[in-house]
């Protein structure tokens, strides 16, 4: 019998922005940033890209859960003697923002549109990189719904999952579905690139495991966001877009946030509807 009970969160959620007309939600790694920070740590500080890819294949084959395999990847960084503070500094030096994200963020702030990051990574690490890139004050204002970290006195560390009972560590749909349940829900924009630790769909409160070309898709957002933006990366696999086409999920492809911003502006200003925006196809 399929368990339809949402996983219990060990971490609090921020209050819903029930009084807002629009809410912008986005994946972090590879969407707002130029590369996946956890992959970068594993490849350069941990056991390397070959073992990481092997772990990904094990997840795809159903031999490992994302939660367990991801922890093994991160634990390899700690096992190599890299402290939490060192990891933060390495990522602050090597991870950069999408070229248009700051413009997008400034626009949202000017229009009183909350920006919420929903990630399978660790919130303190995301906040540290954001502080380096956009400043401490602005970084503190952006809400981050992600996993946490436990840092020990000796500097070693371990991921603390938001949903430890879930095979994915963090079920992203639990940050999006409450907006759909509001009496007057805001229009939700979601930005994703397809690499995420969640392939559970809670549509109609039934958990369904989907067969996907890759195991890490932002499919909860694909199912539940009003206006879905899927990032296209030249020379990379664009699996979320392929998934959406296969499942008949309307979406807009974008290369960077500057291109997405123009379409978002038109929706926010009332020049086009969400339906018309989705018909554009590519920003």
Q: What residues act catalytically? A: 27, 29
Contact 191, 218 (CB under 8 A): no
Cα 114 to Cα 201: distance, rounded to the nearest angstrom? 24
Q: What is the torsion angle, in degrees rounded to the nearest 10, for the CA atoms of residue 58, residue 63, residue 69 and residue 73? A: -40
Q: Tell the residue number behind the tokens 């602005």, with chain if given.
A: 138
Contact 141, 171 (CB under 8 A): no
- Beginning with the edge strand found earlier in the chain, give each strand of the sheet holding 22-26 in spatial order: 157-160, 143-151, 115-122, 22-26, 187-192, 227-231, 252-254
- Residues forming a β-bridge with 231: 254
Token digits for 184?
A: 């007057």
Task: Say if CB 187 and CB 270 are below 8 A apart.
Answer: no
Structure-token pair, residue 134: 């956009």
Beta strands in the chain (DSSP E): 22-26, 115-122, 143-151, 157-160, 187-192, 200-201, 208-209, 227-231, 252-254
Residue bearing tokens 């990379």: 236
Q: Three-class SS of residue 118?
A: strand
CA angle 283, 235, 255 (to 5 degrees): 15
Q: Distance (Å, rounded) from C-alpha 143 to C-alpha 108?
A: 13
């Amino acid at each position: 019998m399929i368990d339809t009970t949402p996983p219990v969160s060990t971490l609090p959620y921020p209050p819903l922005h029930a009084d807002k007309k629009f809410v912008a939600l986005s994946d972090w790694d590879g969407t707002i940033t130029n590369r996946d920070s956890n992959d970068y740590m594993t490849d350069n500080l941990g056991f390397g890209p070959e073992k990481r890819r092997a772990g990904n294949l094990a997840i795809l084959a159903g031999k490992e859960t994302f939660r367990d395999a991801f922890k093994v990847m991160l634990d390899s960084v700690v096992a190599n003697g890299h402290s939490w503070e060192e990891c933060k500094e390495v990522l602050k030096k090597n991870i950069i923002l999408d070229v248009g994200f700051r413009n997008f963020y400034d626009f949202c702030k000017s229009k009183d549109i909350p920006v919420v990051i929903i990630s399978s990574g660790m919130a303190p690490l995301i906040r540290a990189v954001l502080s380096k890139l956009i400043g401490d004050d602005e970084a503190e204002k952006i809400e981050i719904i992600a996993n946490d970290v436990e840092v020990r006195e000796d500097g070693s560390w371990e991921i603390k999952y938001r949903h430890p009972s879930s095979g994915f560590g963090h079920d992203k749909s639990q940050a999006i579905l409450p907006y759909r349940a509001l009496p007057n829900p805001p229009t939700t924009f979601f930005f994703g690139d397809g690499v995420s630790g969640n392939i559970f769909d809670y549509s109609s409160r039934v958990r369904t495991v989907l067969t996907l070309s890759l195991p890490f898709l932002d499919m909860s957002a694909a199912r539940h966001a009003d206006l879905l933006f899927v990032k296209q990366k030249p020379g990379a696999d664009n699996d979320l877009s392929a998934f959406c086409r296969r499942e008949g999920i309307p979406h807009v492809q974008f290369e960077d946030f500057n291109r997405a911003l123009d379409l978002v502006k038109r929706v926010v200003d009332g020049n086009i509807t969400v339906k018309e925006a989705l018909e554009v196809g590519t920003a």
